[in-house]
Structures are given as structure tokens and as C-alpha cells.
Homo-oligomer: A and B are copies of this chain.
Amino acid sequence: MGVGLIGGSIGLAARQRISAHVSGFDLAPGASQSGLEHGALDVACASLVEALEGAQAAFIATPVGTLSQVLSEVLEAAGPECVVSDVGSTKRGVVAAADDPRFVGGHPLAGAETAGVAYARADLFDGATWYLTPTHATTGVLYERLHRLLRDLGARPAALDAETHDRLLASVSHLPHVLANVLVAQAARALDRDGERLPATGPSFRDATRVAGASTAIWSDIYASNAEALVTTIDDAVRRLQTVRAALVEGDREVIEAWNDDAREDRRRLLEADLAGGPVHELRASVPNRPGVVADVALALGGAGVNILDMALHPAPDQSTGVIALWIAGDERARQAEALLAALDLPVARV
């Protein structure tokens, strides 16, 4: 649902990499037609119901503001074995709107630069983090299918509860956009006050403001749907600015130096965090067949920063229990995962 850059790239990757049969629907008839021409779809459907007929997995790739509405239509039309996900940049709203075992919220960190199916690429998600926000309502077997599908598309799925997702994204994405807007507004006014003099702004200003005034259609949805977390984050930023301001007024050199040193260290850690790797370990945990257990596992590991490279769920024949296999990168990470699984009372073995 929604044949644009993201929807189209999902279609391309699914067709090319796992020979999936992909049906697409878009309110704009030109979009699904164009998706067909670009090889993103096998069928351009005339309705949402038609697109969902027999589907094993459905992705809603429409604007954030429309997600809740489209989701309820999709859940209505989709079969009982169809996993349904979305690709919106904020997650609390849509997750709160659906309490359905088939739904798992999603957010791929990819493809913000261009829009439209014409720019869709089969490799758009290669190596990209793809956040998933399962809840206790989520069916384990459908979550596992989605996880494996995303791996097949090239992405790295990582589970996170919707609230944490939105709070983190407020810090690492939404606030940077707000500050870029503030910076260009201030610089532009500094010009005006000085009689239209035109300053050279330099590369660091251009880097810092590259995202200023990003697509209003996309970003006003994001700001509106994450207003609460963003307000908290703005308040935090203001407090931090007031602290620096006080040190500047006091001429407190030591505070300024320590603050700047800390920022360098923080930046180093953030960059490192994005790159973690190491040898891959396979863990197997016995899981009871109770609702939400797969979500518990995914959230416990995702919340601790343990990246699940791949997962497989093996139900016992009687469906009452099963084994979940997890592949984790890094010795330390694997040990951490074992401890987290043990803390969930799940017997775990390293293969």
C-alpha cells in the first residue's frame, strides 16, 4: 500500500531476491502503474482489497498522517495469516491505533533523500537498520516471518518498543531537523539586520543545515505525530543551552572545556556504536507458546542494543512450545544475549 520510494524498493527487493509475487496499490493510479513499469510490482491493483488477496505480508508505505486509517482498512481486508507492517518514521500513534496480532510497526532507516517510485532500488535497505515495534499482541510466527523477510530484503531488523523508538528518534533525527531550521532562520535574520549583506556561511554551516526545511508534507506529519517526545527533547536542549550560556557569562573556561571534551567523546561513542560487529554466534532458546514471548525476546535484546542478525522459530509439533534460534554478532553481545534470555526464564544454549 503506497507505491513510492519505500514501497517500490520493498517490491523490487522482494521480487529480485526472493522471487516474491508483489501486488501494489496506490491512491494515485499513476504511481502503481509506474511501479509496474519499474519492475517493483507484478500487479498494479485497482483497490486495497484486491492487493491484499492471498497476501502473506503487507507493507503500508503511505504518509505518516494516513497510517492509522490505512492500517485499519488493511487489517480489515488482510487474511488471518498475513503479517502487516508499516514504514512510518514515528511509531506510537500507529501502534496505539492497532491491537491486532498480525500487526508489527516498522521503520527502515533508509531512503529519506528522494521521493517517488522512480528512485526505488532493490538495494535501498542493504545493511540498513529497520526498527520493528512488536507488542504483546503480536503473533510470534508472524513476527519471525517479517524479521526473515526484512533480512532477505537486505535490512537489519531491530526490535524496540514504540515509545523508546519515538524518544530516540526525537533525539537523533527530529531535533536535528528542528535545530537546522532554527539555524537557517537565525542566519537569514542576521543578514537582514545587517542590510542584506550576504555572508559566506562555510562548509560547517552547510553540513549543520543540510536538512533545514526538509519536505513539509513529510515532516509536518512527523513533528505532529511525535510532538510529545519532541517537546521533551526541545526542553532538554534548552536546558543544555542555558548551561552553556551561564558558563559563557561567567567566563568559566574550565566548564566550557570539559563540555567540549565531553561532546567529542560522545560523538566518538555514537559513531562506534553504529559499527559494532564481530563473530556471529547462534543461540537457541526454548520458548513456551504464550502470546508475546517472541516480542519479549526481541524487545529485551533490541533494548539492550543487541542486534539480532537473523532469527528462526521452530515450533514443536503440538504447537505448545518451541525453539527460537537467534544469530548475534560479537562475543560480548552473544554473552549479553544469553544473560537476557536467562533473565526471561528461557532455557538457552549456544550452538
What is A's interface to B at a CB cutoff of 8 Å?
109-110, 112-116, 118-119, 121, 123-124, 126-129, 154, 158, 160, 164, 167-168, 171-173, 175-188, 190-191, 194-202, 204-214, 216, 219-220, 223-224, 227, 230-231, 233-238, 240-242, 244-245, 248-249, 251, 253, 256-257, 259-271, 273-274, 276, 284, 286, 302-305, 310, 312, 314, 316-321, 323, 325, 347, 349, 351
Q: Is the CB of B234 within 8 A of A245?
A: yes
Q: List chain B residues, Cβ under 8 A from A270.
A: 184, 187-188, 191, 201, 205, 209
With the chains together, A251 CA to B302 CA distance in Å? 31
- CB neighbours (8 Å) of A127 from chain B are 316-319
What CA separation (Å) do A210 and B209 show in the bound complex? 11
Interface contact A126-B323, CB-CB below 8 Å: no
B248 and A213 contact, CB distance less than 8 A? no
Verify B110–A185 contact, CB threshold 8 A: no
Task: Given A199-B273, A261-B213, A286-B119, answer yes or no on A204-B177 (Cβ-Cβ < 8 Å).
Answer: yes
Specify the main secondary structure of chain A where it touches its partner.
helix
Q: Quickly give the copy total for this chain.
A: 2
Q: Are A223 and B256 in contact (CB under 8 A)?
A: yes
Instruction: Answer whether A240 and B321 are a contact pair too, CB < 8 Å, given A172-B201, A190-B172.
Output: no
Q: Is B201 a contact partner of A210 (Cβ separation < 8 A)?
A: no
Quote the shortest CB–CB distance from A38 to chain B (angstroms).
10
> Is B320 touching A199 in the complex (CB atoms < 8 A)?
no
Would you call B181 and A259 a contact (CB within 8 A)? yes
Complex Cα spacing A314 to B211, Å: 13
| A241 adjacent to B231 (CB under 8 Å) | no
- List, sorted by A's number, 25 A–B pairs whose CB atoms are closer than 8 Å: A113-B325, A127-B319, A128-B316, A129-B202, A164-B194, A171-B183, A172-B199, A173-B205, A178-B244, A180-B263, A181-B259, A182-B241, A184-B270, A188-B269, A198-B276, A204-B211, A205-B270, A207-B207, A213-B266, A213-B267, A220-B253, A220-B257, A224-B253, A231-B248, A238-B238
